[in-house]
Amino acid sequence: MSFTEYFFFLVLLQSTDRHLRKVFRKHEDKKDKTVKKDQMGEILRELRKSTQAGSRQQDRVQLDARAIKASEEDFLKTNNNLVNLLFKDTLTISVHDIIELQSRFREDLWHFQFFSLQPNDNDRISTRMLLHSKLCDVSGKNLEKFRQ
C-alpha cells in the first residue's frame, strides 16, 4: 500500500458522518443528492485536507526521520483510482454509499484485528492476547506494570 493509498483509507475511516455530509452537500446534484464518480477524488482530497493528519500533510510528512513525499496530484490520482476500483459499476455516488463503504471497512478491520489475536477453535481470544494488543495504548509507568 502506498502512502497516498494509506491516506485515502485513513481519511475515509477518520471522517464523521456529519463531516462527510457537509462536504458532499457542496458538490452534490441537488435533485438526486449524488456526485459524479469523477468528482469523488476531489471531494476526498477536500476531506483529507480538513482532517487533522491531512491538514499537516501538504508536501511531505516526517515519519521516523524520513520524508515521505506526495503531491496533491499524487493524492488526486490515488483517490480517482481507488474510487474507480471501489465503485466500478456506478456512475454516481451518494453520501450513503460512502458511509456504507466506511462501515464495511471498519467491520473488516475489526475482524482482521480480532483474528490477529489468534482466536481458538471456538473463536475466543485470551485476555492475555487482548491486553497485549492494547499495550500500544498504555504509556509511562503503567506500561511496565502491564508488560508483566
- 53-73, pLDDT tens digit by residue? 655 555 444 555 456 778 888
pLDDT mean over 109-132: 88
- 71-98, pLDDT tens digit by residue? 888 889 999 999 999 999 999 999 999 9
pLDDT mean over 107-113: 91
3-state secondary structure the chain: CCHHHHHHHHHHHHCCHHHHHHHHHHHCCCCCCEEEHHHHHHHHHHHHHHCHHHHHCCCEEEECCEEEECCHHHHHHHHHHHHHHHCCCCCEEEHHHHHHHHHHHHHHHHHHHHHHCCCCCCCCCCHHHHHHHCHHHCCCHHHHHHHC
pLDDT mean over 39-61: 71
Whole-prediction pTM: 0.72
Indicate the domain borders of the chain.
3-95
Q: Is the model's pLDDT at 135 over the cut of 90?
A: no
* pLDDT at residue 66 in the model: 59
* pLDDT at residue 11 in the model: 87
